[in-house]
Structure 1
Amino acid sequence: MQKIKVIFDLEVIGNSYKNNQTGVYRVAYEIFKRFALRADLKVLYSNFNFNKDKHTNSKIDRFICENHVVIKPATSFKRIRFIPFRKEKFFRKLYNKFGLFDYRISYSKEVDTANIYHSLFYPIHESLAKFPDIKKIVTIHDLIPVLLPEYNSNTELLENTITSIGKNNFAICVSENTKMDLLKYAPQIDPNKVFVSLLAASPEFFYQCKNETKFSEVQGKYNIPEKYFLSLSTLEPRKNIDHVIRSFVRLISDKKIHDLSLVLVGGKGWDFDKIFNEFGHAKDFQDRIIITGRIPDEDLASIYSHANSFYYMSFYEGFGLPPLEAMQCGTPSVVSDTSSLPEVVGEAGILLDPKDQESLVKSMWKLYNDKFYRNELSEKSLMQAKKFSWEKTVQQHIDIYNKILSL
């Protein structure tokens, strides 16, 4: 069996390594580490430094070393020393227009025999056009920056990524909904060159964890109460966390509940003030709303598993990993009925309009008050989560590579 020679772009891993290892980093990491072990692949790595971070290369080197991966680089770059006014916005745009960049890219000889180039986030670099025999693929995680620019600041980057697909290159989307959004937004892209591979939740971090000693340790570290609703996401407007806070406050106020809290896990994201303003309005109940900040992966299974239920009222998701993580921990979940989330949750959770407070409060009350209902949803969640795995995702990628190479 002939090996597929893949150039896997590691810039997104380098950008986030030891810093913000969530979202796209997680996807790239889980796929890459399994690629590195495949007997049917030969993997090289690239970094085109779209992020213009002089530390990315050294962080990639550190990642490779600390994960004991034997892998060769496909690219290298040197900074061009004499570019006047390189930091000025006007000149930067002018230089980009004429293809003059801060760094000069060079390729190793290994690239001449490569079959596939795959970027997990950034655009397909235009210099790759000189290798017409290499099939070029980019992963599209969501269309948020172009469909909902008010919730994101990466609009230009995604536009460039979509443009880089063009007529000759390929895309892998993380959900059927994302594929549909991509083709609707960019009808010039050939639908036969767009594929879908669903994501997964890491089994070493997300599992049913009923260890009371571990939970006691976690409670002490993050001020977690005995009985709580849980929400986990980056704190930003698109996640609709202020709606969850308002609904929770209404529930415990109307029903006179004294033994329940709301735990919000996640780092501060883009334009998070709205969430903290809502927290400020809940003056009589602020001690019942715990904002932990970002929590390391190794503590999340315990927090998910001990929650009464999980809430994810996001307005839009390309896939939606947190609900899958919650389900894999056996936690009953209430999730928006928008975008890709029904694909992930199926019939294992409660799907609601993300603006419907009445339905959310009713669901919160039922999950608080009905142990049998919680147990039923917990069992359904565990069954639904078994439909997803990184091994399945990786095999889907290999199948897609083979299909593309046969075209």
Structure 2
Amino acid sequence: MLKILIDARMIDSSGIGTYLQNLIPFLKENLILYLLGDKEKINKYIDISDVTVIPMKSSIYFPWEQVEYILKVKDVDVFWSPHFNVPIFPVRTKKRIVTVHDVFHLVFKDLYNLFERNYAKLLINSAVRFSDLIITVSQFSKSEILKYTKVKEEKIKVIYNGIDTKRFKVCPNEEKIKIKNKYNLPDKFLFFVGNVKPHKNLKGLLRAFERIIRDERDIFLVITGKKEGFIKGDKEIFKILNNKYLKDKVIFTGYVDNEDLPILYNLADLFVFPSFYEGFGLPPLEAMACGCPSVVSKIPPLLEVCGDAVYYVNPYDVEDIAEGIIRVLKDQNLREEIKRKGYERVRNFSWEKSAMEHLKTIKDEVGY
């Protein structure tokens, strides 16, 4: 069997962590697996009884990781990094594969200080230059990689992410009541899953919501995470939240347990995803699987992933976001149509299918 070493240090992160948590269990049934990372952390998410964990303590993007790579990446058929933080020096493996989910750091370089900007640029360019194969998650991300780097198109393979429909599904009422009480949620609310990074456009959503609640006083906005974290990340959010219309209408859940997230989608009247930029966009698929209609940005990656199973708005137009939300809230026929199309759309994306494509791609690259 092929020996593959995977950098699993990001297994507890939101996006790449989901990617690893769903692919590793399938791959370890078909390959001899070695994982770089913290044994205790990895074991929280996957069974490691039949894999070898090689300790690696370096933080992501910290230069010391380059030394650890040299010392620990060796004697395997394939080294696969699920993110662009890759060895920038030669390592002793037959093949190197990297997954580049997006090139956000190159597109929005002004968000980073000089060191962060240059180190990210070095890593991304090293990732595409020295890897034998680049996996990415959408045709849009492929086009962005080609636009911002000098890689040859034939080195890039698009493999879509999946959705875990055993986890994200329509839930029984008793589960919904339990979670509603746990997080002290209102009867009617919009739902946002994301972070404070500018490309998630939370400020645009808050401004749109301010317009909505002037007429729709019974609706709330629920945001996953701690209020303090969002305010600390962007001081302007604090000012917006102190607006007299928003003061008591925006609810931050605090930390959300993994098993609770699907039920929050179930409880929501509407999921809103107003991003300026994404590589793929997994949350709208999660909402679809849970029967929650979505209003999302009309941007290339979401058009590619979501098809006609959502309602699209212009993320740069606060009025358009507000009008789209109100329309989907009030038009019951439209809501039901979006939900029906969502159930159909989700069938195109499964982690089993994604894992099989990853396995075939890895074997083909090695010639196994």
- TM-score > 0.5, shorter chain as reference: yes
Deviations 1:332-380 (A, max 9, x none): 1111112411111111111222012232222122122121211111111
- Give the 3 Å change call, closer, same or farther, for CA 58–225 of structure 1 in structure 2: closer
Contact 1:170 1:194 in 2 (8 A): yes
Deviation for aligned residue 1:28: 1.2
- What is the alpha-carbon distance in structure 2 between the residues aligned to residue 9 and residue 68 of structure 1? 14
Does 2:33 align with 1:43? yes
Does 2:109 align with 1:129? no
Alignment of 1:350-389 (within 5 A): 350-389=311-350
Does 2:259 align with 1:298? yes
Amino acid at match of 1:403: D
Contact 1:177 1:340 in 2 (8 A): yes
Contact 2:312 2:324 in 1 (8 A): no
Alignment of 1:67-216 (within 5 A): 67-73=47-53, 101=67, 105-106=71-72, 112=75, 114-126=76-88, 128-131=90-93, 134-151=94-111, 155=117, 156-157=119-120, 159-166=122-129, 169-187=132-150, 189-209=151-171, 211-216=172-177
Deviation for aligned residue 1:194: 0.9
Deviation for aligned residue 1:393: 0.7
Deviation for aligned residue 1:275: 2.5
State the match for 1:50 in structure 2: none
Deviation for aligned residue 1:266: 3.3
- What is the alpha-carbon distance in structure 2 between the residues aligned to residue 77 and residue 309 of structure 1? 41
Deviation for aligned residue 1:7: 1.6
| Partner-residue secondary structure (3-state), 2:99 | strand
Unpaired runs of 5+ residues, structure 1, are 48-55, 80-91
Number of residue-to-residue matches in the alignment: 359
Q: Which has the larger radius of gyration?
A: 1
Deviation for aligned residue 1:168: 5.4
Residue in structure 2 matching 1:10, options 1, 8, 11:
8
Residue in structure 2 matching 1:34, options 3, 6, 26:
26
Contact 1:151 1:238 in 2 (8 A): no
State the match for 2:196 in structure 1: 235
- What is the alpha-carbon distance in structure 1 between the residues aligned to residue 57 and residue 10 of structure 2? 19
- Give the 3 Å change call, closer, same or farther, for CA 106–316 of structure 1 in structure 2: closer
Deviation for aligned residue 1:399: 2.1
| Partner-residue secondary structure (3-state), 1:286 | coil
Alignment of 1:253-264 (within 5 A): 253=214, 256-264=215-223
Contact 1:336 1:354 in 2 (8 A): yes
Does 2:305 align with 1:344? yes
Deviation for aligned residue 1:285: 3.5
Which shows bigger deviation, 328-337 or 291-300?
Answer: 291-300
Does 2:35 align with 1:59? no
| Partner-residue secondary structure (3-state), 1:355 | coil
Contact 2:199 2:277 in 1 (8 A): yes
Amino acid at match of 2:122: E
Which shows bigger deviation, 328-337 or 287-296?
Answer: 287-296
Deviation for aligned residue 1:127: 5.5
Deviations 1:181-219 (A, max 9, x none): 1111112x121111111112222331112x222222212
Amino acid at match of 1:247: A
- What is the alpha-carbon distance in structure 2 between the residues aligned to residue 275 and residue 71 of structure 1? 44
State the match for 1:393 in structure 2: 354
TM-score by length of 2: 0.88
- What is the alpha-carbon distance in structure 1 between the residues aligned to residue 57 and residue 281 of structure 2? 38
- What is the alpha-carbon distance in structure 1 between the residues aligned to residue 136 and residue 361 of structure 2? 12
TM-score by length of 1: 0.80
- What is the alpha-carbon distance in structure 1 between the residues aligned to residue 346 and residue 57 of structure 2? 45
Q: What is the aligned-residue RMSD (CA, Å)?
A: 2.8
Unpaired runs of 5+ residues, structure 2, are none
Deviations 1:272-317 (A, max 9, x none): 3333321112x23322221213311211222111211111001101
Deviations 1:141-189 (A, max 9, x none): 11111111244675423531431331552211111111111111112x1
Runs of 4+ in 1 over 3 A off after TM superposition: 56-60, 75-79, 101-104, 126-131, 150-155, 266-270
- Give the 3 Å change call, closer, same or farther, for CA 57–300 of structure 1 in structure 2: closer
| Partner-residue secondary structure (3-state), 2:247 | helix
Which shows bigger deviation, 115-124 or 298-307?
Answer: 115-124
